[in-house]
Amino acid sequence: MIKQFIEHREKERRLNSHPTLLLVGVSVCDIVTIVPRISNPGDIVYLDKGISISLGGHPCNIAIDLAKLGYNPRNIFVVSAIGDDFCGNFIEKQLSEYNIQLMLYRVEDVGSNKNLILVVEGEDRRFHVEVGASSRLPLAHVIKALNEVKPKLLHIAPGVLGEIDENLGHILRIAQSMDTITFVDVGAAKPFGKKGWDFLTEALEYTDIFHCNVYELRKLFNLDNVIEGIKKILEKGVKIVLVTDGDKGAYVAKKNTVIHQQTFKVNAVDPTGAGDAFQAGFIYSISTLIRDKLSKETLEELDLETLAKLLLYAQAVGALCVTKPGTTTAISKNGVNDLLINQGEKILKNSIYIKL
The pLDDT tens digits of the residues spanning 306-320 come to 999 999 999 999 999
Global pTM reads 0.90
Measured CA to CA, the distance from residue 75 to residue 213 in angstroms comes to 27
CB neighbour burial string for 47-65, b if at least 16 within 10 angstroms, e if fewer: eeeeeeebbbbbbbbbbbb
pLDDT given for residue 195 in this prediction: 85
Residue 253: give its domain's CATH number. Answer: 3.40.1190.20
**Angle 34-35-39 from CA coordinates, rounded to 5°:** 145
The 10s digit of each residue's pLDDT in 328-344 is 999 999 999 999 999 99
- Length of the chain equals 356
Q: Tell me the residue range of the domain where 130 lies.
A: 2-38+47-355
Contacts of residue 15, Cβ cutoff 8 Å, sequence gap at least 6 = none
Is 281 strand, coil or helix?
Answer: helix
C-alpha dist (Å) from residue 281 to 21, 228, 267: 14, 25, 19
pLDDT class of 15 with cuts at 50, 70, 90: very low
Q: How many domains does the chain have?
A: 1
Lowest mean pLDDT among 53-67, 90-104, 282-296: 282-296
Backbone angles phi, psi at 224, to 5 degrees: -95, -20
The 10s digit of each residue's pLDDT in 89-126 is 999 999 999 999 999 999 999 999 998 888 887 777 78
Helix, strand counts (H, E) of the chain: 14, 14
SS3 letters for 36-70?
A: CCCCCCCCCCCCCCCEEEEEECHHHHHHHHHHHHC
